[in-house]
Amino acid sequence: MKVLVIGSGAREHAIALSIAKSPRLSELYVAPGNPGTAAIARNVAVDISDNASVVAFCRSESVDFAIIGPEGPLVAGLADDLRESGIACFGPGRDAAKLESSKGFTKDFCREFAIPTGAYARFTDVDQAIAYIGRQIVPIVVKADGLAAGKGVVIAMSQAEAEQAVRDMLGGAFGPAGAEVVIEEFLHGEEVSFFALCDGLRATPFGSAQDHKRVGEGDTGPNTGGMGAYSPLALMDEAMTERVMSEIIAPTMGGMAARGAPFRGVLFAGLMIGTAGPKLIEYNVRFGDPEAEALLARLEDDLLQLLWDCERNGLPARPPKLSPQTAIAVILAARGYPGPSERGTRIKGLERAEGLSGVTILHAGTRSDGGSIVADGGRVLAVTALGSNVREARDRAYAAIDQIDWPEGFCRRDIGARAIESEQVDEVR
């Protein structure tokens, strides 16, 4: 089978690594890819924001199956255009992708189909939004309605902070993504990234992870696209997984089918698990980044077969087989991220780092320059490691990071810290 993976980040590198293991694979392309994917596939210079160009490439190379990594092409209807051209693909169509492209749509959807979520209101007018904030308690959450690369969320600890977030968003800080804001109740509990594979008719759980969104240690500073993740979460045992599937995923699948937009692809539910059980924070309609880097490191089944089964309405009854080991992914970012970051700085020591046991280096924002690897983005590398528990996996990841010579980069040194504290408590007991 000829396969095209669409995207250029660490998520797509992780997907390509998993796909490359499949006995069904005959040839693997990545568009546009990065220096990491170039080692396992053929990178192709296709503009993934141009649906016609992607379709034309698939036709010219007789691609059997396209796997869409990032949200942008999904929201732009690439899956629809591929399928209409007779090319099988993994990912939801434009209408189903509204679960990610509009937070207001998703909140209204949850209300209609009785999916547990926090209280909310939607606004396009600054004065009305600020008046609403004045009647709420803090903390409160202010979100840009549209896609903002994981950065359009402000957890406001004061009414003044919430009001400023509204002014910024509706004032154009996120462009069209902030033309409307959603103001939400702040939910208390443990945040979880939960994944389910979906074939339009049914869904099966695909594991859990926990992302670390804020740029600074101790969960301080602005939100980012994600500074690291680990998988699995002890909280997501069989009973809680069944609750999430029955209370959140199943009614979503049924509701989207009722809307005439059956969901095929991977459904990423951002959850808050509190005393009342799971509540939906938001949906994404693709593998998370950096969650995918951790989750796919644990996959023991054939990813290509699983994704093909989603497209062909043929998911197996059993969930995919995941290693009982813990995986952790730590993001190395360029100085200045999540704001303007330095580019063109040289990164050395990658081979030395990847030579450590259980470690994989995934490229996110890099490019080749005269035989060297240089930074070419905000989030630049994902250092992934496996271990028997969170502590062992994290120790391996940071040992690998310490082998990388890149003074212009930084990372959080506390990824998985709370989980390690829980492990220590369990050991004492």
Among residues 339, 338, 341, 334, the alpha carbon closest in space to that of 404 is found at 334
Beta-strand pair 359-363/379-387: antiparallel
pLDDT computed for residue 426 by the predictor: 61
pLDDT > 80? residue 427: no
Average pLDDT over residues 360-381: 96
Q: Please report which confidence band the pLDDT of residue 318 belongs to, taking 50, 70 and 90 as the band edges.
A: confident
What does DSSP assign to residue 32?
E
Average pLDDT over residues 39-44: 98
Class of 326-428 in CATH: alpha beta
H-helix segments, 237-370: 238-244, 250-258, 291-295, 303-311, 350-354
Distance CA 238, CA 170 (A): 42
pLDDT computed for residue 425 by the predictor: 57
pLDDT computed for residue 223 by the predictor: 84
pLDDT computed for residue 422 by the predictor: 76
pLDDT > 90? residue 94: yes
Distance CA 310, CA 169 (A): 37
Inter-axis angle of helices 303-311 and 10-19, nearest 10? 100
Least trusted range by pLDDT, from 101-110, 179-188, 239-248, 310-319: 310-319
pLDDT computed for residue 212 by the predictor: 95
Contacts of 310 (CB under 8 A, 6+ apart): 90, 197, 198, 199, 264, 265, 266
3-state secondary structure of 229: strand
Q: Where are the domains of the chain?
A: 2-93, 119-185, 190-311, 326-428
pLDDT digits 0-9 by tens, 327-361:
999 999 999 999 999 999 999 999 999 999 999 99
Distance CA 361, CA 381 (A): 7
pTM of the prediction?
0.94
* Superfamily of segment(s) 190-311: ATP-grasp fold, B domain (3.30.470.20)
Give 119-185's CATH code, choosing from 3.40.720.10, 3.30.1490.20, 3.20.20.140, 3.30.70.100.
Answer: 3.30.1490.20
pLDDT > 90? residue 369: yes
Distance CA 161, CA 48 (A): 37
Are 2-93 and 326-428 in the same CATH fold? no
Give 2-93's CATH code, choosing from 3.40.50.20, 3.90.1150.10, 3.10.20.600, 3.40.50.720.
Answer: 3.40.50.20
Locus of tokens 């199943």 = 250
Question: CA 202, 292, 316 angle in degrees (round to 5)?
Answer: 25
pLDDT > 80? residue 150: no
